[in-house]
Chains A and B, each alone.
Chain A
Amino acid sequence: MRCGIGIEARQVNELYINIDPIQAGGRLTADAMKAVIAYGDGYSVCDNCRKPNRLDYISKPPIAGFHRDVAAWLNMDAVRTVPGARRGFQAVTNTYVSKGDPVLLTSLSHYTEFLAVEETGGIVREIPHDSAHKITADATATKIEEVMREFGRVPVLAFIDHVDYQYGNMHDVKAIAKVAHHYDIPILYNGAYTVGILPVDGGDFGVDFIVGSGHKSMAAPAPSGVLAATKERAGEVFRTTTIKGDVTNRTFGIKEPEMMGCTLMGATLVGMMASFPQVKERVKHFDRELENNRRVLEALLSVTGTKILSEYPRNHTLTRVDTLASFDTIAESHKKRGFYLSAALEEKGIVGIIPGATKVWKFNTYGTTPQQAAFLADAFVAVAMDNGLPHNA
């Protein structure tokens, strides 16, 4: 079935259990799908835009209220919606980083954080992770001291990913933020894998900014996300325009340069808004998600030689595994080589693992029902058994 010339209707999530590490938290709720149907037209949220003509002031649909609600939910003072977490990073780096300024990232930072710094001419310095692939407050303090020796000043900004994309490990944001603030460094909390997945309290963490991803973790269409700030920082990152045309003398009201005026003007925003009540509710039940994840991991570990590379027991459902001594041993002699694993899983109705991966790979069980988690667990064991791998399931 097609929805345009050459565009097949996508039925991945209807036909399969999808454990793609980046797709799990962005699957739409029914309400978001309905909102997308109704608000697909370009400037669909602008029907009732009135002075002062800015997206976050629109009350029909209730966009203004949504902004207030998200800020309160994150325990921050101000929120704007952005076209993806990366645009949130960009707004912050554009505000605080100038050419030659040192910026603190980590050895587990997402590439878009690097690019956001690069664009400003800033220089990144990475806090190294420890042997357990964790970023610690001590390592943060050590790195800041190193930067001070190298640059003669502290970094102008620090990023910390609460849960990193490589291992899905949870890092001690509160302690790291405390260290950063000790040196008067503003800190950006990257919640791409947490905002919309588990409870996030910016006030408790003591961070200056929170960035969340709508399409990764808030059951929203892409590209969407949120940038939240404390009152003190909001005046800086959400400053309003002061520019004036020399011929026309035009000025542009309360538009915000870092947001380029208005941001999400249609289905992306209304999709995120429509999912929000369910998203607020689901973060309270993250323990259920961990239980589903545990079930699958136990099945994988029952296959002799499989290792979990992420912290274990898990604090997040995004998990990195090492199957060099288990599933990969079959790849060498199998007629499908390394593709046999993803092919066998697909035959059973499971997708989302990189085709060809049998050595080190990631998956995410977020959003599966208990029945689907049980099915997944059984499927991994079945593939092992079908290929004669030793197991103790």
Chain B
Amino acid sequence: MTFQALYTLTDLRVILRETAPQHQLDETRRAQAQRLLDNLERQVASLKQEMLK
């Protein structure tokens, strides 16, 4: 789960690179970012559950 979250952040990082310097996301990228951020929230929640149980 640690790697999954790191890799999701990496995918978000790539969006930042591809849209620099203005970071204005078109519809496709916005949807992609939304999906990645949703995944990240789930991955962090799972991490919390596993590490703090």
Contact = CB atoms under 8 A, between A and B. Distances in A.
Contacts of A37: 3, 6-7, 10
Interface string A358-377: 00000000000101100100
A158 interface: no
Contact of B18 (A38, A348, A369, A375): A369
B18 A15 contact: no
Nearest to B21: A349
A372 B20 contact: yes
Given A37-B6, A38-B3, A15 B20 contact: yes
Contacts of A16: 20-21
A349 B22 contact: yes
Contact of B22 (A13, A30, A33, A375): A375
Interface residues of A, number: 18
Contacts of B14: 30, 33
A33 B21 contact: no
A14 B20 contact: yes
Interface string A8-46: 000001111100000000010010011001100000000
A14 B13 CA distance: 7
B21 A15 contact: yes
Given A37-B3, A38-B3, A30 B10 contact: yes
Given A37-B3, A38-B3, A30 B11 contact: yes
A366 B1 CA distance: 34
B21 A34 contact: no
Nearest to A379: B21
Q: DSSP majority for the B interface? A: helix
A27 B14 CA distance: 11
A33 B20 contact: no
A61 to B, nearest CB: 15
A350 interface: yes
B33 interface: no
Contacts of B11: 30
A57 B6 CA distance: 30
A21 to B, nearest CB: 18
Given A14-B16, A33-B13, A348 B3 contact: no
Contacts of B48: none
Contacts of A15: 20-21
Q: Looking at B7, B18, B19, B20, which has the most chain A CB atoms within 10 Å of its CB? A: B20
B20 A349 contact: yes
Nearest to B26: A371
Interface string A304-347: 00000000000000000000000000000000000000000000
Contact of B10 (A34, A349, A372): A34
Given A27-B17, A372-B18, 16 more contacts: A13-B20, A14-B13, A14-B20, A15-B21, A30-B13, A30-B14, A33-B10, A33-B13, A34-B3, A34-B6, A34-B7, A34-B10, A37-B10, A349-B21, A350-B21, A369-B18
8 contacts: A13-B17, A14-B20, A15-B20, A15-B21, A17-B21, A33-B10, A37-B10, A371-B19
Q: Which 10 A-B pairs have the closest CB atoms?
A: A349-B21, A14-B16, A30-B14, A33-B10, A13-B17, A34-B7, A16-B21, A37-B6, A34-B10, A30-B10
Interface of B: 3, 6-7, 10-11, 13-14, 16-22
